[in-house]
């Protein structure tokens, strides 16, 4: 039997029971791919991560990221939470403010602000590729959500996972959605997308943007708070030279599933690099027996 250190965190929240839960296996050496996938399926969280020694001399740690059904090259809240766990467990020096995460998407810079409960982790997302979609898919998405979607309201964004991103303009429209999840799952499956993300302008003062992400094809009807989707949105805003949100804003996600979370999203104007970040709350610390 293998014994490993284990944590469960709530990411993009400063207190337990909010944000997006993440399971982290700290000392994952010796756990094979099948066991990692089986454990991720057992936790039934949107993602479970496994921390390993880096294979690159430039990296501080390596992470593998699994949904209940597949391994992902990159995901936002698992990257933020894994960095937090690596610091908390001493895998990396707690005094370092700049880290490098190794994952299947490459080497990603990580910035650490504050200490203890005040610590905030910011992870640079992989560069995004942004693609227009065809008219047939746009019409099918409009019916599945349902929502009015014009030709300029939808893009396929690849920043590791593939996201179908929809601009609904207004937060009220985002929060009122009741999508046909079977139809969304079919569209994602046919287009190799992990999910559909929607966003709109928020005016209640807590955040600049309301976001929701639906991933039923991956066994997650609605993901509570999604770093890669927020990074995909910002990448698209940058490409279209958006002037509504600016180069740094806070996004609200998870309210509709009782997991209210906040994501700080930023874009470097000179390089186009997108970072997503926020707080983490340690909820479970213990040992895992496999």
Q: What pLDDT score was predicted for residue 204?
A: 86
**Residues 46 and 176 grouped into a single domain:** no
> 48-96, pLDDT tens digit by residue?
999 999 999 999 999 999 999 999 999 999 999 999 999 999 999 989 9
**Residues 150 and 121 grouped into a single domain:** no
159 versus 290: which is more confidently predicted?
Answer: 159
What's the mean pLDDT in 223-238? Answer: 97
Q: What pLDDT score was predicted for residue 116?
A: 84
**Residues 247 and 208 grouped into a single domain:** yes
Other CB atoms within 10 Å distance of the CB of residue 267: 21
Residue 58: give its domain's CATH number: 3.10.310.10
Alpha-carbon gap, residue 176 to 20, rounded angstroms: 21
**Residues 114 and 151 grouped into a single domain:** no
Q: What pLDDT score was predicted for residue 286?
A: 96
**Residues 170 and 207 grouped into a single domain:** yes
Alpha-carbon gap, residue 260 to 275, rounded angstroms: 20
**Residues 77 and 25 grouped into a single domain:** yes
**Residues 219 and 92 grouped into a single domain:** no
CB of 246 closer than 8 Å to CB of 229: no
**Residues 47 and 159 grouped into a single domain:** no
CA-nearest of 62, 51, 65, 49 to 9 is 49
**Residues 69 and 178 grouped into a single domain:** no
Other CB atoms within 10 Å distance of the CB of residue 135: 9
**Residue 137 — pLDDT band, cuts 50, 70, 90?**
very high
Rounded to two decimals, the pTM is 0.94
**Residues 184 and 257 grouped into a single domain:** yes
**Residues 35 and 136 grouped into a single domain:** no
**Residues 142 and 258 grouped into a single domain:** yes
pLDDT at 1 over 80: no
> 238-257, pLDDT tens digit by residue?
999 999 999 999 999 999 99
Domain assignment of residue 49, given as a range: 3-125+278-289
CA-nearest of 124, 85, 83 to 6 is 85
Query: Looking at the 3D structure of the chain, how many domains does it have?
Result: 2
From residue 197, how far is each of 83, 213, 268 by CA, in Å? 24, 4, 22
**Cα-trace Rg, the chain:** 18
What's the mean pLDDT in 96-120? Answer: 95
Q: What pLDDT score was predicted for residue 205?
A: 87
Positions annotated as catalytic residues are 47
> 17-48, pLDDT tens digit by residue?
999 999 999 999 999 999 999 999 999 999 99
What percent of the chain has pLDDT above 70? Answer: 100
């Amino acid at each position: 039997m293998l014994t490993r250190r284990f944590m469960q965190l709530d990411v993009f929240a400063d207190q337990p029971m909010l944000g997006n839960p993440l399971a982290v296996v700290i000392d994952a050496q010796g756990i094979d791919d099948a066991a990692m996938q089986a454990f991720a399926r057992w936790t039934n969280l949107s993602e479970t991560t496994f921390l390993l020694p880096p294979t690159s001399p430039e990296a501080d740690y390596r992470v593998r990221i699994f949904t209940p059904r597949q391994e992902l090259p990159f995901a936002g809240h698992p990257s933020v939470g894994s960095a937090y766990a690596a610091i908390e467990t001493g895998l990396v020096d707690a005094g370092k403010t700049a880290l490098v995460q190794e994952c299947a998407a490459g080497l990603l810079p990580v910035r650490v602000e504050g200490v203890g409960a005040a610590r905030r982790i910011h992870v640079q997302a992989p560069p995004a590729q942004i693609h227009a979609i065809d008219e047939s898919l746009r019409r099918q998405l409009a019916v599945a959500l349902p929502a009015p979607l014009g030709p300029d309201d939808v893009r396929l964004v690849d920043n590791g996972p593939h996201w179908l991103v929809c601009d609904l303009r207004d937060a009220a429209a985002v929060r009122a959605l009741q999508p046909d999840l079977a139809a969304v799952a079919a569209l994602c499956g046919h287009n190799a997308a992990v999910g559909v993300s929607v966003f709109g302008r928020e005016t209640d003062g807590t955040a600049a943007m309301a976001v929701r992400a639906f991933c039923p094809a991956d066994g997650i009807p609605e993901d509570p708070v999604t770093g890669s989707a927020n990074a995909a949105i910002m990448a698209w805003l940058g490409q279209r030279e958006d002037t509504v949100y600016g180069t740094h804003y806070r996004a609200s996600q998870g309210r509709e599933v009782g997991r209210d979370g906040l994501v700080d999203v930023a874009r470097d104007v000179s390089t186009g690099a997108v970072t997503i970040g926020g707080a983490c709350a340690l909820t479970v610390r213990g040992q895992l027996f496999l």
